[in-house]
C-alpha cells in the first residue's frame, strides 16, 4: 500500500512568490489533513478535508493560504503571496476514519514539504 506522498520535498522561493504544495493521501482515506511545523514549534493543524469538503479550516493562518481537494483525491495547498513567516515544513496526513473516541484519528503522515521563503 502506497503511503501519503507529498510534493515537492523542498521548495525555496522569494517573498511575494507563489508556491503550491501537493498531497496524495492513501487510497481510500476520505480524511485529509494539512499541518505545519515552524522550526522549534509544535506541529500545528491547518485544515481537514472529508472527501472534497472542508470539514475544518480553523487553523489556516490567513487568506494567503488556499487549500483544495478536487474530486476528493489529492489536495493542494497554495500560498500566495508567500511571506517569510510561512517558512516551515508542511505535513499532510490522511486517515480512514475521523470519528471521536478511542481508535479515532490514527493518522498516517507524508514526509512533508519544506518551504523556505527568502
Partner 1 sequence: QKEVEQNSGPLSVPEGAIASLNCTYSDRGSQSFFWYRQYSGKSPELIMSIYSNGDKEDGRFTAQLNKASQYVSLLIRDSQPSDSATYLCAVTGNQFYFGTGTSLTVIP
The residue ranges that bind partner 1 (CB under 8 A) are: 3-4, 33, 35, 40-45, 48, 56, 58-59, 91, 100-112
Q: Which is nearer to partner 1, 29 or 81 (CB)?
A: 29
Q: How far is the CB of 102 from partner 1 (least distance, A)?
A: 4
Question: How far is C-alpha 46 from the geometric centre of its chain's CA atoms?
Answer: 7
Whether residue 107 contacts residue 3, with contact meaning beta carbons closer than 8 Å, is answered with: no
Q: How far is the CB of 43 from partner 1 (least distance, A)?
A: 4
Q: Which is nearer to partner 1, 4 or 117 (CB)?
A: 4
Beta strands in the chain (DSSP E): 5-7, 10-13, 19-24, 31-37, 43-50, 53-56, 65-68, 75-79, 88-95, 108-109, 113-117
Whether residue 104 contacts residue 96, with contact meaning beta carbons closer than 8 Å, is answered with: no
Q: Which is nearer to partner 1, 4 or 19 (CB)?
A: 4
Q: How far is the CB of 16 from partner 1 (least distance, A)?
A: 28
Amino acid at each position: 500500500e502506497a503511503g501519503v506522498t507529498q510534493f515537492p520535498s523542498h521548495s525555496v522561493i522569494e517573498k511575494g512568490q507563489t508556491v503550491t504544495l501537493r498531497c496524495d493521501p492513501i487510497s481510500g482515506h476520505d480524511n485529509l489533513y494539512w499541518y505545519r511545523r515552524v522550526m522549534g514549534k509544535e506541529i500545528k493543524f491547518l485544515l481537514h478535508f472529508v472527501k472534497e469538503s472542508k470539514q475544518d479550516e480553523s487553523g489556516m493562518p490567513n487568506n494567503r493560504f488556499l487549500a483544495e481537494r478536487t474530486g476528493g483525491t489529492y489536495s493542494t495547498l497554495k500560498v500566495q503571496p508567500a511571506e517569510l513567516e510561512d517558512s516551515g515544513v508542511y505535513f499532510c496526513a490522511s486517515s480512514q476514519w475521523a470519528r471521536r473516541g478511542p481508535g479515532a484519528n490514527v493518522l498516517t503522515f507524508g514526509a512533508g514539504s519544506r518551504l523556505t521563503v527568502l
